Amino acid sequence: THFGFETVTEAEKRERVAGVFTSVAESYDRMNDLMSFGWHRIWKDHFVASLNPGFSPLSSSSDPRSPQHILDIAGGTGDIAFRMLHTAHVLNANPSVRVTISDINPAMLSVGKQRSTSLPASQQAALSFVEANAEDLTRTTPLLTSTSSPSPVPPQEIPSESVDLYTVAFGIRNFSNIPAALREAHRVLKPGGVFACLEFSKADKFPLFNTLYKEWSFRAIPLIGQLVAGDRDSYQYLVESIERFPSQTEFRDMIVDAGFVVAGEGYEDLTGGVAAIHKGMKP
C-alpha cells in the first residue's frame, strides 16, 4: 500500500497519524462534508440521538437529573461532543452532563476549542479539552492554549470507573493498538457504562453499491484532498485506513474480548455499512 503500513511499527504509525491530522486540522470540517456528501452529519446526528445523553425517565423537580460524564475520545474538532451537549443540555434539559474531549493531536483540539467559543456559555463551561493517547488514558494533559502558562503540567490519569459514556467517532481505525484502547475504555467506564463507536465499516452486503463506493473512495477522495486541501497523501492514508479496518463482526468480537457485553448483533449498519455503530456495556 501507499505507506506500506504492514511493515511499520506502532510508533511509526502513531507518528504518521499525527502528521496526517496536523496537516488536515484546518481543512478537516470542510473536507468531511465534501468527501461524504454531508452524510457524516447525518451519521453523527443518529449516533448521538441513539445514545440520548442526559435522558432520564425520572424528570420531576424532586428528582434532579443525574450528572453524567461523557468522554469523547479522538474528539478532534468537537463534532460529537457539541452534539452531546446540545442533546443533554437543551433537548433533555439536563445541564449536569459534562463532556471531556480527548485527542492525541493538539492541532485538532485547538480547532475544536476555537469552534466551541460559539456555544452557549453554559455548554462551554461543561466542556474540557485534554491531550491523550487513547491507548493510555493514565497520562493526559490539559490542552495548552496560547494564554495558558508555559510551565509543563504533570500528566493526569483518567481514573478507573469514572466515565458514564465513552464515545469514539471515526477515530479508532487510526489507533496503533486497538485492543489496548478497548482495555482503557473498559477501565475508565463505570459498571453499567457504555462504550459507543461510530466508524467506517464494510459495505460489502450490496456488491454494486460497494463497487461504486470503492471507486469513489480510491479515486475521488485523494483527488479532492489534493485539490481542496493541497494534501493528497493524507487523504490517501484515510482511504487506506478504512480498507484495513476490521469488519463489523470482527470488531464486535474485539469489543466482547475486551470485556463488554453487547446486545443482539452488537452493531448497526449505516448507509449500507459505509459506517457502523458498535456499542458495548461494561457489566
Is residue 104 at the binding interface for ligand SAM, with CB under 6 A as the rule? yes
Q: How many residues bind ligand SAM (CB under 6 A)?
A: 20
Element (H, E) at 182: helix 178-188
Minimum distance from residue 85 beta carbon to ligand SAM (Å): 14
Report the DSSP pairing between strands 267-270 and 68-73. Answer: unpaired
Contacts of 153 (CB under 8 A, 6+ apart): 141, 142, 144
Is residue 171 at the binding interface for ligand SAM, with CB under 6 A as the rule? yes
| Interaction mask 13-42, ligand SAM, x per CB under 6 A | ----x---x---------------------
134 is in an annotated binding site: yes
Please identify the residue of the shown chain whose CB is closest to the bound ligand SAM. 76
Sole window of 82-90, 100-108, 113-121, 183-191 interacting with ligand SAM (rule: CB under 6 A): 100-108
**Contact with ligand SAM (CB under 6 A): which of 16, 71, 79, 186?**
79
72 is in an annotated binding site: no
210 is in an annotated binding site: no
Residues forming beta bridges with residue 156, ordered by sequence position:
140
| Interaction mask 126-165, ligand SAM, x per CB under 6 A | -------xxx------------------------------
Sole window of 47-55, 166-174, 218-226, 265-273 interacting with ligand SAM (rule: CB under 6 A): 166-174
Is residue 200 at the binding interface for ligand SAM, with CB under 6 A as the rule? no
Chain positions 56 to 75 lying near ligand SAM, rule: CB under 6 A, are 74-75
Is residue 242 at the binding interface for ligand SAM, with CB under 6 A as the rule? no
Q: Which long-range contacts (CB under 8 A, 24 or more apart) does 173-178 make?
A: 173/199, 173/200, 173/241, 173/242, 173/244, 173/245, 174/17, 174/21, 174/74, 174/241, 175/74, 175/134, 175/135, 176/10, 176/11, 176/13, 176/14, 176/17, 176/135, 177/10, 177/135, 178/254
Beta strands, E only, the chain: 68-73, 97-103, 127-133, 136-142, 163-169, 189-200, 267-270, 275-281
Q: 28-36 and 10-24 are packed helices; what angle lies between their axes, rounded to 10 degrees?
A: 90
* Phi then psi dihedrals of residue 9, to 5 deg: -85, 170
Q: List binding-site positions for S-adenosyl-L-methionine.
A: 77, 103, 133-134
Q: Which residues bind ligand SAM (CB under 6 A)?
A: 17, 21, 74-77, 79-80, 103-105, 108, 133-135, 169-171, 174-175
